[in-house]
Structure 1
């Protein structure tokens, strides 16, 4: 019991004692915790007493606490601060976890107890939440193959184990590609780059152990470089590196992995009686069917493509006016869109960025949460897994609600993107448990750290997910926080982005890094006026990715995903100067796990709701209206997965919205 992962944590709020945990602690802790969970499950399955909700479902909810504690700690550091040892452990743990999960859902005695309760559910006098947990538990077992027998049962176990290995390999290959590629810049190459980007590039160079500035494939460096560098040859080099991540050949190439994943998913769905993986996956989502998803995406695609093509003609004229020949290329779009934005909206990212300080934007997100939900945030001085991390004690009316951890800066040990996770979820059973929630981002480091407007929106987005975790108020952890339908989980995050655009928020928190002066009113007006600038491009690159994801999981799996990707893009008429937001070899949402597979559309499905949900505040004329905020918390943020997602939304708004609110919100049709 000298292993700190296996001890009781006598730390503030029982946070993992990161300063005492070594990489060598993870494997023995994992072994012990996995064995303990196996014993707990066996005791439930082999219980001679007749099944009851308490001795079966609640017993399963209470089991696995030690395993959750170990894995919550391990996967936090493995994703945000990886190293060779942690990557090796991921490769070891993933198939064993998949096998463990398959062993549980394949336990016939356990499934029979659950099935008995399901058949007798009307006589059990369950609360609505308990009835929901029973339904979800049984459904999860059935969809995992619990009803399969013989060779089919064994094959399902093999498939899930192999998929776990492949998902880990995909993620680690992508991280390796992103970590290894960089482009050194000479002093001449810095011409035209804003000061904030030069400072960030120098910081990235120091991170690589170099004396000069570099551009990496981190979006916080690559995108502003594409926006500002007049060197077309260097833009092309960065663009090609960014869009070819995971597909450059060699040991980190993900193309064959993606093909095998798609084939195994198809086989998995067929074993369960579904014609396609998309039909299997979407059955439990709000969308319900692939047809409903495609209808939504195509309803958005048509006006977005028309807008993007019109924009492309303008940008190509600007390209030719600069003396450049040939058509507009993908590595030209950001550069000329930025020039157009400056000309039409008098908006310059370099002028705007000093007003978007990271610390002030964090403060803005916290203040909005205080005004809406009464939350207060006090800094915590506790050991965390990396010096860049910081933590806060979240309270309401003096009562501890959660611990919130922010890990905001890009580094080579962190996978790309931004995400929210919970090291510990909220629960009341078997005892009260406050969540420990983490936001991880990849912003460029600086002194002070400055954000682009998109970065600031990302910060608010991930904090919206955090609020969904922190404000959760259910009994059972399996349905707490973000444990909801995939196409509902993005509603709180995308909805929270709207508060960044509230003028009074920007007036208070968008202050200049050097002078401390608030953003001038004319600049603030321009920021809000330009909110929908380049929406054709942004919508097309997103919807194209979502359509490719959907089509990949319908019909026969492609032997060559890249060829299939090209065919899909040709069929929908993808504009030549725009690339998918996530090409197949780096489409981590879809291939690093099952989370967003056949589900990348969910951001747009949720956006249909978030555009309508913020209207509830607009209708009463106050973005901080107390009654509307209370209704939002009661019906959306606190309920987790305790109620069907469509019912929750109807409770909040009285109806489900149509796509028109989204199109108007993106400026793709007239308001």
Structure 2
């Protein structure tokens, strides 16, 4: 998940630099260990409040027939090593040992983290920071003194370079301080981050950058000389200045800074301390029939002379109880406990909402939603979001009504009461019951004796991704040896992304294995964006090296990018995108061996395969973008477009022709039986309408909380319950009075007024999958999931532009649908009417 700002936005620094941490936080999970919390996340109550154990990514179209598995590659592009370095720790150790004497400059110097020459020791983080800030100060002085046409023409690129210098520090340090297990490096990265952030705040106290950018934009000879990309960046930066209150009187600007700081502090406290009104729920042991006996025994305690099962109120175990315990009264008790946040949590939420409303009014906006949606969003106003969500809800309504009737019929049959109604604490139980009965009724298949995960070793999945990208875009992954110091942990694998036409185009660091001290949340990080390095920048470093010398660098090209990877394709020098992928896949224990004597590799569930495909979708967006400015590089696009490439990749993860590229048994090499995958997909589709309705309501709630009418006496609980009763399909059970689940809606902090984005991108991804990739099918007139022409069309119409072209134009070109090119309210409503799920065959 990519550009939702956690901290106050600054006038010219990209918002995603300031927002990674919030997206890596988890909801309160009760008093369980970090590893148990990670496991519980697969079954715990989601942001919707429903406790489905399946990914929404499984909601796909009709199941194609099984096709032959083809694992063919070529001598030129052999990927055997790629699999080995992920599946065999000894193979990676031997391979990586070949890089012990490697340095980019060919000397004996120690290699720094990510190849950054400054970062060979903790003290290097501050040296890196000071070098970057010194360069930044020179650029600020240059922009402030601009007077000629040529100097004003350079303002956009100068500001982009200024942003890049600070993003280099902020992005890298933010990643390192939350990922590395080394405490000294954590502290050094945190100090460097804080120093750079303080400098940005100082820059925001002066209007000179805004004034100079305005003069450049208002000069016709300057504006006409800029490229489309430069104009786009200029408009983005100008809007960022406006939103940071740079034009207000000093007292108002001071209040703006104070409010921004308060919002960050209160929002962080809201997420970090959210808790239920009662931490435990006590259930009579005799009434817990259906609950996993192991859990019942583990949480059994003696209370007032009787045996009770004491479950953490908000936990995977409580969610499991909602799905499995037969006694309706017990489920009701659990439901109330899991849906009622503490008063302190709700107060913090309402405080944050109020502060945001005041900030927006101070900046001259009607509401916080109006303010936030002006910034790099395809939906430019709350009304556009409303049009989209209402159309989407209408499309989804028929599905929901059918599913609710199915659940009601199942309850009436199970209880023998034809007049009973469906309560909120019944939904999960009867959905789970219907799914279990479907599994029991399915005819046995011989091939299903083996777990599906045995066909998805991590190495084979990485092979599959490389083979897929090679077929679609002419890209492949090439393992690269990492000498000591380049990575933050021995488990990290480096891959070079190589293009068949442009050579080396990106560096990808894969930190994919479980560690006790590591966040369980999968994530993609752009540690350094792609950006064109101008010849005059290289010249500056050449002059500096000639005058003063630098023990770290002898080459001005290396100095221009801190020693990190560069490209000189076509005579253009670019800093290569440097990307980190972080997941939490479990390696088998050391005593679990192949028949060959090797340790068993990490085996992924199909949901984990989808997760890896999703994160790789973000990475390929960064890789394929061909912008010259870092402000709009790759995933630095419209926030409500950023999840489209990654969500689209989930479709590929379930396509039989794609699985045929790689899915085979880790030991025997036997291909996966696609029908085994298909059965899981069919089960996952059950009750997708109900789950989607919950997400739609939460997206609407996000708009309510950040819209007009939020005053001192705003009651978030009343607003939530009122919205549920207005917006949910007739017959859908709603939260009873006395509950206040909104206190657990942690995404309100990071996604304030933009929570609809994921739904929006799911609709667009579904449409692209059907219109561009023909739902994965090959016909006489259209290619499918592996067709190069389809991949190149997606690349050229959308991925290559990053944020450098109007997002609506990119999507319109991708879908070949001019109806949405205007990007107005009608376009948003039309997208919503498409719905998330295609009609089944």
Same fold (TM over 0.5): yes
Given that 2:657 and 2:785 are in contact with CA atoms closer than 8 Å, whether structure 1 keeps it comes out as: no
Are 1:434 and 2:434 counterparts?
no
Task: Give the CA deviation at 1:296.
Answer: 1.6
CA change 1:42–1:433 in 2 (3 A) is closer
- 2:784 alignment partner, one of 602, 605, 622: 622
Deviations 1:62-104 (A, max 9, x none): 2255543332232113444689999999998888766644543
Are 1:638 and 2:800 counterparts?
yes
CA change 1:225–1:18 in 2 (3 A) is farther
Are 1:600 and 2:692 counterparts?
no
Q: How far apart, CA to CA, are the structure 2 residues paired with 1:248 and 1:92?
A: 34
- 1:377 alignment partner, one of 457, 460, 477: 477
Given that 1:255 and 1:585 are in contact with CA atoms closer than 8 Å, whether structure 2 keeps it comes out as: yes
Q: How far apart, CA to CA, are the structure 1 residues paired with 2:253 and 2:507?
A: 41
Are 1:564 and 2:664 counterparts?
no
Aligned to 1:4: none
Aligned to 2:243: 143
CA change 1:456–1:268 in 2 (3 A) is same
Aligned to 2:811: 649
CA change 1:437–1:349 in 2 (3 A) is farther
3-state DSSP of counterpart to 2:479: strand
Q: How far apart, CA to CA, are the structure 1 residues paired with 2:346 and 2:834?
A: 37
Given that 2:312 and 2:318 are in contact with CA atoms closer than 8 Å, whether structure 1 keeps it comes out as: no
Deviations 1:234-290 (A, max 9, x none): 99999888877xx457xxx64333222222221222122221111222234222221
Aligned to 2:203: 104
Comparing 642-651 and 441-450, the one that deviates more:
441-450
Aligned to 1:342: 439
Are 1:400 and 2:510 counterparts?
no
Aligned to 1:507: 660
- 2:747 alignment partner, one of 574, 589, 597: 589
Aligned to 2:621: 468
CA change 1:97–1:229 in 2 (3 A) is farther
Are 1:281 and 2:372 counterparts?
yes
3-state DSSP of counterpart to 2:652: helix
Deviations 1:457-484 (A, max 9, x none): 2222221111111111111111111111
Aligned to 1:61: 160
Comparing 332-341 and 267-276, the one that deviates more:
332-341
Are 1:262 and 2:353 counterparts?
yes
Counting matched residue pairs gives: 628
Task: Give the CA deviation at 1:107.
Answer: 1.9
Aligned to 1:332: 429
- 2:134 alignment partner, one of 36, 48, 53: 36
Given that 1:345 and 1:530 are in contact with CA atoms closer than 8 Å, whether structure 2 keeps it comes out as: no
Q: How far apart, CA to CA, are the structure 2 residues paired with 1:87 and 1:323?
A: 57
Given that 2:498 and 2:505 are in contact with CA atoms closer than 8 Å, whether structure 1 keeps it comes out as: yes
CA change 1:330–1:590 in 2 (3 A) is same
Given that 2:494 and 2:507 are in contact with CA atoms closer than 8 Å, whether structure 1 keeps it comes out as: yes
CA change 1:485–1:633 in 2 (3 A) is same
Task: Give the CA deviation at 1:565.
Answer: 2.6
3-state DSSP of counterpart to 1:329: helix
Task: Give the CA deviation at 1:152.
Answer: 1.6
Q: How far apart, CA to CA, are the structure 2 residues paired with 1:525 and 1:81?
A: 39
- 1:609 alignment partner, one of 758, 764, 776: 764
Given that 2:113 and 2:119 are in contact with CA atoms closer than 8 Å, whether structure 1 keeps it comes out as: no
Q: Tell me which protein shows more helix as a share of its residues.
A: 1
Q: How far apart, CA to CA, are the structure 2 residues paired with 1:108 and 1:634?
A: 38
Rg larger in structure = 2
Deviations 1:484-507 (A, max 9, x none): 111111221122222122212223
Are 1:301 and 2:393 counterparts?
yes
Q: How far apart, CA to CA, are the structure 2 residues paired with 1:621 and 1:543?
A: 33
Given that 1:304 and 1:668 are in contact with CA atoms closer than 8 Å, whether structure 2 keeps it comes out as: no
Given that 2:431 and 2:687 are in contact with CA atoms closer than 8 Å, whether structure 1 keeps it comes out as: no
CA change 1:453–1:70 in 2 (3 A) is same
CA change 1:393–1:92 in 2 (3 A) is closer
Question: TM-score, normalised on structure 1?
Answer: 0.78
Q: How far apart, CA to CA, are the structure 2 residues paired with 1:631 and 1:370?
A: 15
Given that 2:378 and 2:807 are in contact with CA atoms closer than 8 Å, whether structure 1 keeps it comes out as: yes
Aligned to 2:214: 115
Deviations 1:188-234 (A, max 9, x none): x999989xx99xxx9xxxxxxxxxxxx99999x77996798678899
Deviations 1:500-531 (A, max 9, x none): 22212223433345654322243244355556
Q: Gapped runs of 5+ residues in structure 2?
A: 1-108, 283-287, 299-310, 535-572, 590-600, 775-780, 821-826
Task: Give the CA deviation at 1:170.
Answer: 4.3
Q: Gapped runs of 5+ residues in structure 1?
A: 1-8, 184-188, 203-214
Given that 2:173 and 2:190 are in contact with CA atoms closer than 8 Å, whether structure 1 keeps it comes out as: no
Task: Give the CA deviation at 1:440.
Answer: 2.9
Task: Give the CA deviation at 1:316.
Answer: 5.4
Task: Give the CA deviation at 1:445.
Answer: 5.6
Deviations 1:620-649 (A, max 9, x none): 132222222112112211111111111122
Superposition CA RMSD, Å: 4.7
3-state DSSP of counterpart to 1:420: strand
Q: How far apart, CA to CA, are the structure 2 residues paired with 1:338 and 1:438?
A: 37
Q: How far apart, CA to CA, are the structure 1 residues paired with 2:450 and 2:313?
A: 20
Q: How far apart, CA to CA, are the structure 1 residues paired with 2:314 and 2:135?
A: 39
3-state DSSP of counterpart to 1:488: coil
